[in-house]
């Protein structure tokens, strides 16, 4: 169960990153600076995915303990649990997609801002052309 303060902090942090991406894209070197946050986010997603693959590939063991009616231990047994390849691939793919959500948001924001800047520049060039032709 999530608390309201946890959700509020998450939304504030997410909003701060989106605002930072907006400021970076609108800077003078917006084409280069706007790619900083998507690159960092993508590297973090790859690191998380590598961590999931590394952890899932480890052979794990689980203990099984049997108790009698009075709570006394009857027997203990250690069972080795192996992961199969399909679960490893699906876990890695799911982790990669899920952790790349911020990357997708940052790239979309980058594309929208740059296209609007390009459109504004094109309109300004057209206006200058018509002013020159009027002379």
Count of the separate structural domains present in the chain: 1
8 A C-beta contact, residue 34 and residue 113: yes
Q: What is the pTM of this model?
A: 0.69
Look at residue 130 in the predicted model and tell me its pLDDT: 72
Does the pLDDT value for residue 14 go beyond 90?
Answer: yes
- For residue 21, being part of any structural domain is answered with yes
**Block residue for tokens 């009857």:** 74
Q: Report the pLDDT averaged over residues 9-26.
A: 94
Q: Report the pLDDT averaged over residues 102-114.
A: 94
Does the pLDDT value for residue 125 go beyond 80?
Answer: no
- Structural domain of 13: 4-79+100-119
Kindly indicate the confidence band of residue 1, based on its pLDDT and cuts at 50, 70 and 90.
low
- For residue 26, being part of any structural domain is answered with yes
Q: Report the pLDDT averaged over residues 97-116.
A: 94
- For residue 88, being part of any structural domain is answered with no
Bridge partners of 78, per DSSP, are: 63
Q: How do residues 49-85 score in pLDDT, each as one tens digit?
A: 999 888 876 666 667 778 888 888 787 777 666 666 6
**Block residue for tokens 């989106």:** 18
Closest CA to 33 of 16, 20, 46, 47: 20
Rank 20-34, 80-94, 113-127 by mean pLDDT and report only the highest.
20-34
Does the pLDDT value for residue 102 go beyond 80?
Answer: yes
Does the pLDDT value for residue 111 go beyond 90?
Answer: yes
């Amino acid at each position: 169960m999530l608390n309201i303060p946890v959700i509020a902090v998450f939304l504030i942090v997410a909003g701060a990153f989106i605002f930072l991406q907006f400021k970076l894209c609108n800077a003078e070197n917006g084409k280069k600076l706007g790619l900083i946050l998507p690159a960092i986010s993508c590297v973090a997603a790859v690191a998380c995915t590598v961590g999931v693959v590394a952890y899932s590939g480890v052979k794990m063991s689980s203990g099984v303990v049997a108790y009698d009616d009075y709570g006394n231990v009857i027997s203990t047994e250690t069972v080795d649990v192996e992961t199969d390849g399909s679960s490893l691939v699906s876990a890695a793919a799911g982790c990669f997609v899920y952790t790349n959500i911020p990357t997708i948001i940052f790239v979309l924001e980058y594309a929208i801002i740059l296209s609007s800047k390009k459109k504004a520049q094109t309109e300004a060039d057209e206006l200058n052309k018509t002013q020159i032709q009027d002379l």
